[in-house]
Amino acid sequence: MDEKFKEFTRKLHEILKPLGYRKEGVNYRIFGSDGLCRIINLQKNRWNTAVHCEFTLNIGVYFEKDEKITNRRFKEYDCQIRKRADERDLGGEKEWWLIDSATDLEELLEELLPMLRYIEEWFGHFPSKDETIAKILDGSAQQYSDTNIMHNDTKKLLEEIAGSI
């Protein structure tokens, strides 16, 4: 199943690469010129077996103090704004997608296209680093996140950014 999952991640990258995503393992990142980065992460289910593999999609928006990103391998959990993207966002019920011996990867990718469109729309709420910071500070970004945005690390980072202006 690991080989089939790896093949799936390669095929997914063929879809995401024209949009500017770089692939590293199960992470697909875009690095914006203003220092705002985006990530799509495929999280494998810890209960996967040799005969089936489930995964879900986690997404996030990441930035650092400066425009130049020093942590080029940031993870979804490093992001200031994070969300699990699943079919519930589209009115469905599925949180995990399944790959097994019967899975047609092309059909699975086709099934994921509406979710990928949703993810790009979600990222559209954060078009620039400055606008993202403004949404964090005015509290409007919280509605897009599954986690608390204004945690201590984000607060410290925003104080550093404010101090350098």
Q: What is the pLDDT of residues 62-111, one digit of tens each?
A: 999 999 999 999 999 999 999 999 888 898 888 999 999 999 999 999 99
Which pLDDT tens digit goes with each residue over 113-155?
Answer: 999 999 999 999 999 999 999 999 999 999 999 999 888 888 8
Task: Assign 122 to helix, strand or coil.
Answer: helix
Burial tier of 60 (Cβ tally within 10 Å: 0-12, 13-18, 19+): buried
Residue 99: C-alpha distances to residues 11, 59, 67, 147 (Å): 14, 20, 38, 28
Model's pTM, two decimal places?
0.93
Q: Please, are residues 5 and 96 in contact by the beta-carbon 8 Å criterion?
A: no
Give the DSSP per-residue string, 75-114: -GGG-SEEEEE-GGGGT----SEEEETT--HHHHHHHHHH
